[in-house]
């Protein structure tokens, strides 16, 4: 069964804290939540104005708090740009800390990605070898803690199908998977539907992002990702692609979570996105059942 959740970065601009995001989820019947991992102390988070979690917070106590709200964590972002040289130092440690925390928090997935640019002076082959070392250092911990390390299309390598294929096959492990993103693939000039079809066997979590007409005209083919939908999901130029992606997921028996990513604008835009996603998924599932 396909679950619907949302990423707490929807409330970045509203300066909410994580518990406010849990309350929004409870009020709107959302049972899955996703957030970013802060490996250290961050001013806005410490003062209660940032909707993500710090790894110094007790993961078991936070899991119990989430249970009281009827919400579970579908994934946590450890999105350091791993393809840069610091990926082997800062990036690896960030992911390792997040994996350990996630396992105690009851979170089954950690999301990772690369930088939007190829590092200066490196060839594609050298970047892939660099990433082999990075993922080779984190996968033993992922397998020990039974936490999937996902790769998200968001950068130079990961939005290129031929390079994403190489990354996903660096190691033969069920703990190396893919977090599909409908908005990043679209803005990078790819076909989100074809991208999902190619990698469906590796996809276990998906970010649902639409794209406004203005953003498409300004950035399509010139960027490798966007932080959030600048419009409600269903109102942009990527809506039909999202619908077709749902059809692929339903047909293939996907049982993961679709996590909504848009600026909530304090709540209303996320509410519209949630309503469209629920209605569209129900229509897709009904047609599939009838067929």
CATH code: domain of residue 7: 3.20.20.150
**Per-residue three-class SS string for the chain:** CCEEEEEHHHHCCCCCCHHHHHHHHHHCCCCEEEEEEECCCCHHHHCCCCCCEECCCCHHHHHHHHHHHCCEEEEEEEEEECCCHHHHCHHHHHHHHHHHHHHHHCCCEEEEECCCCCCCCCCHHHHHHHHHHHHHHHHHHHHHHCCEEEECCCCCCCCCHHHHHHHHCCCCCCCEEEEEEHHHHHHCCCCHHHHHHHHHHHEEEEEECCCCHHHHHHHCCCCCCCCCECCCCCCCCCHHHHHHHHHHHHHCCCCCEEEECECCCCCHHHHHHHHHHHHHHHHHHHHHHHC
15-27 pLDDT, tens digit per residue, is: 999 999 999 999 9
pTM of the model: 0.97
* Number of structural domains the chain divides into: 1
Read off the pLDDT of residues 24-79 as tens digits, 9 standing for 90 and up: 999 999 999 999 999 999 999 999 999 999 999 999 999 999 999 999 999 999 99
What residues make up the domain containing 197? 3-290
Tell me the pLDDT band of 230, cut-offs 50, 70 and 90.
confident
- What per-residue confidence (pLDDT) applies to 43? 97
């Amino acid at each position: 069964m396909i679950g619907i959740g949302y990423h707490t970065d929807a409330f970045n601009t509203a300066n909410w804290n994580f518990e406010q995001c849990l309350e929004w989820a409870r009020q709107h019947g959302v049972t899955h939540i996703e957030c970013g991992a802060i490996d250290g102390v961050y001013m806005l988070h410490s003062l209660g104005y940032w909707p993500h979690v710090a790894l110094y917070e007790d993961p078991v106590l936070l899991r119990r708090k989430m249970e009281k709200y009827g919400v579970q964590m579908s994934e946590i972002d450890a999105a350091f740009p791993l393809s840069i040289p610091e990926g082997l130092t800062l990036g690896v440690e960030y992911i390792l800390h997040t994996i350990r925390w996630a396992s105690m928090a009851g979170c089954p997935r950690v999301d990772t990605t690369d930088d939007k640019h190829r590092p200066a002076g490196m060839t594609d082959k050298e970047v892939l070898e660099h990433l082999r070392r990075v993922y080779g250092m984190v996968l033993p911990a992922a397998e020990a803690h039974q936490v999937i390390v996902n790769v998200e299309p968001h950068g130079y390598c990961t939005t290129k199908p031929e390079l994403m294929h190489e990354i996903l096959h660096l190691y033969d492990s069920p703990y190396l998977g893919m977090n599909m993103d409908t908005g990043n693939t679209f803005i990078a000039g790819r076909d989100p539907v074809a991208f999902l079809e190619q990698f469906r066997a590796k996809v276990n979590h998906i970010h649902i992002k639409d794209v406004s007409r203005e953003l498409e005209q300004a950035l399509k083919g010139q960027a490798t990702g966007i932080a959030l939908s600048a419009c409600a999901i269903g109102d942009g130029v990527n809506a039909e692609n999202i619908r077709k992606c749902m059809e692929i997921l339903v047909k293939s028996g996907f049982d993961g979570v679709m996590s909504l990513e848009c600026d909530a604008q304090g709540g209303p835009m996320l509410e519209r996105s949630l309503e469209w996603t629920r209605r569209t998924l129900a229509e897709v599932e009904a047609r599939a059942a009838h067929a």
